[in-house]
Structure 1
Amino acid sequence: MRVHTLDLQFQNTPGLIAAYLVESGHELALIETGPGSTLPTLRQALQAKGFQPGDVRHVFVTHIHLDHAGAAGWWAQQGAQVYCHPSAARHLVDPSRLMDSARRVYAERMDTLWGEMLPAPEERVTALADNECIRVGEVQFTAWDTPGHARHHHAFVVGDACFTGDVAGLRLAGSPYLSVTAAPPQFDPPAYVASVDRLLAGNFQQLFLTHFGEVTDVKDHLSRYRQRIEEVHQNVRTWMQQGCTPAEIEKRYGETEHALATATGLSPADWQLHQMSNATGMCADGVRLYVEKNP
């Protein structure tokens, strides 16, 4: 097996969103498609490796957030089989609700950020149950149900490697700062911690993060990320108990994360990259929504 990291150059910026091309025997698998806005870049990256889009017959998406699966329908329309969580399949076949919801959030920025999400032909979408396997060439992809960031989230296990989507967090350019992916509306810290514990028990040698790249200090990364999930949850719960407004919580969340990132040596420029990938205001809303529902 050979794994290629394809940088999708999101918003013309390197190191924010990755897709992974796995060569096995004479077959190819693509893990994550990125948004529709980066599809031209993905196709160019694929061609730079000596392949054409028609060579990709298997596409795995960890979940249906637009930065991970926005271009999945295009690949399905080219004839690739797209594999996803059972709760994600209907949204790939009919992405209209997903797109309408995103458009309400992003308004005039929607097309520039995310582009178009095409519907996938139903027969080209395969929902995988937990622990269900798909063989591609000489390797086997196993779907692990890993909720916490989203209820419809899979990680994909290949031997001693794991393609983690968002369940192992965001870590850009090998930075020691770990940013908790906590976008609303499905952030669920108990489920999240349980998913990270499952990854820890897997004793993987490599993680491949969508945001961004290969991680080899797997046990340390996952152990620290587990703590980070609990930390942001407790911070927001405390601020809510103190009577803070949503705006105050958003401000405190941003200040706390910025101070933590700066303490690890993160530069102001790198902090802005983290904000582009996983904005603290969005994450504060995600954690607050969970605490409101689970006081």
Structure 2
Amino acid sequence: MRIHTLDLRFIGIPGLIASFLVESGGEYALIETGPGSTLETLRTAIRAAGVEEEAIKKVFVTHIHLDHAGAAGWWAQQGASVYCHPNAARHLVDPSKLMESARMVYGAQMDSLWGEMLPAPVERVVVLQDGESVNVGEVEILAWDTPGHARHHHAFIIGDVCFTGDVAGMRLEHSRYLSVTAAPPQFDPVAYVQSIDRLAAAKFKTLYLTHFGAVSDVAWHLSSYRERVMEVYERVAADFRAGVSVEENRRNYAAAEHAIAMKAGVDEALWEKGEDANVTSMCADGVRLYCEKGL
């Protein structure tokens, strides 16, 4: 088996969003498609890896957020089967509500950031339950239900490696700063920690993060990320109980994360790069929304 990390160069910046090309026994699969805006970059990267895109018959998406699955419909329209969580399927078949919600958030930037999400033909969308697997050549790709970032989230496992989507967070350029992926509306710290613990118990050799790339210090990463999830939740929950406004919550969240990143050795350029991939204001809103529902 070979795993190719394909850099989608989101908004022209390397190292923000990855897709993974899995090659085994003469068959090819894609894990994560990235957004519609980077589809041509993805297709070019596949060809540069020596693979004809027509050879890709199986596509796996960890969840249906646009940075992970925005181009899935295009692949389905080319005849590939798209494998997803049971709660993700309807949004792949009809992405109109997803796109409408995103347009409300991103406004005039929507098209340049994310591009178009095409509807996937219903017969090309295949639901995987927790523990179900799909053969690709000589390997099995196993789906694990891993909520916390989103309720419709799968991690995909091949032997001792795991493609984590967003359930193991964002880590750019192998820095020691782990950014919690907590965009609204489904952040849930209890489920998140349970999912992280499930990954940690498996003792994977390598994690493949969509944001970004291979991680080999798996035990440290997962234990540290578990702490980070609870840290951001407890911080926002305290502000929420104190009556802090939405805008002040965003400012507090950004300031605290910036300080943590700087202490971890991140420079300003990498911090700004991280903001392009996992915006602190949006994460602050995601954690606060959980607090509004539950506190």
Q: TM class by shorter-chain length?
A: over 0.9
| 2:189 partner letter | P
Residue aligning to 1:130: 130
Q: Which residue of 1 aligns with 2:171?
A: 171
**2:232 is the alignment partner of 1:232:** yes
Q: TM-score, normalised by structure 1?
A: 0.99
Instruction: Determine the structure 2 residue equivalent to 1:30.
Output: 30
The residue that corresponds to 1:220 in the other structure is: 220
Specify the alignment match of 1:253 in structure 2. 253
Partner-residue secondary structure (3-state), 1:57:
strand
Q: Which residue of 1 aligns with 2:207?
A: 207
How far residue 190 of structure 1 moved from its aligned partner, in angstroms, is 0.1
Distance 2:100 2:288 in 1: 23
Distance 1:200 1:218 in 2: 8
Size of the alignment, in residue pairs? 295
Quote how far apart the aligned CAs of 1:50 are: 1.1
Identity of aligned residues (%): 64
Deviates further, 181-190 or 236-245 = 236-245
Give the distance between the partners of 2:90 and 2:53, measured in 1 at CA.
24
Take 2:52 and 2:13, find their aligned partners in 1: how far apart are those partners?
24
Correspondence for 2:15? 15
Amino acid corresponding to residue 54 of structure 1 in structure 2: E
SS in 2 for 1:141: strand
RMSD: 0.5
* Residue type at the aligned position of 1:165: G
Give the CA deviation at 1:239: 1.0
Give 2:42's aligned residue. 42
Aligned letter for 2:36? G
TM-aligned CA deviation for residue 130 of structure 1: 0.3
Q: Please name the residue that 2:159 is paired with.
A: 159
TM-score (norm 2): 0.99
Q: CA deviation at 1:242?
A: 1.8
> What whole-Å deviation, never above 9, does each CA across 1:43-72 have from its counterpart, x for those lacking one?
000010111210101100000000000000
Runs of 4+ in structure 1 off by over 2 angstroms are: none
Partners of 1:180 and 1:188 in 2: CA distance:
12
Amino acid across the alignment from 1:184: P
SS of residue paired to 2:16: coil
Q: What do residues 259-289 of structure 1 show as CA deviations (whole Å, max 9, x unaligned)? A: 0000111110000011000011000000000
Amino acid at match of 2:39: L
| 1:141 pairs with 2:179 | no
1:50 counterpart SS class:
coil
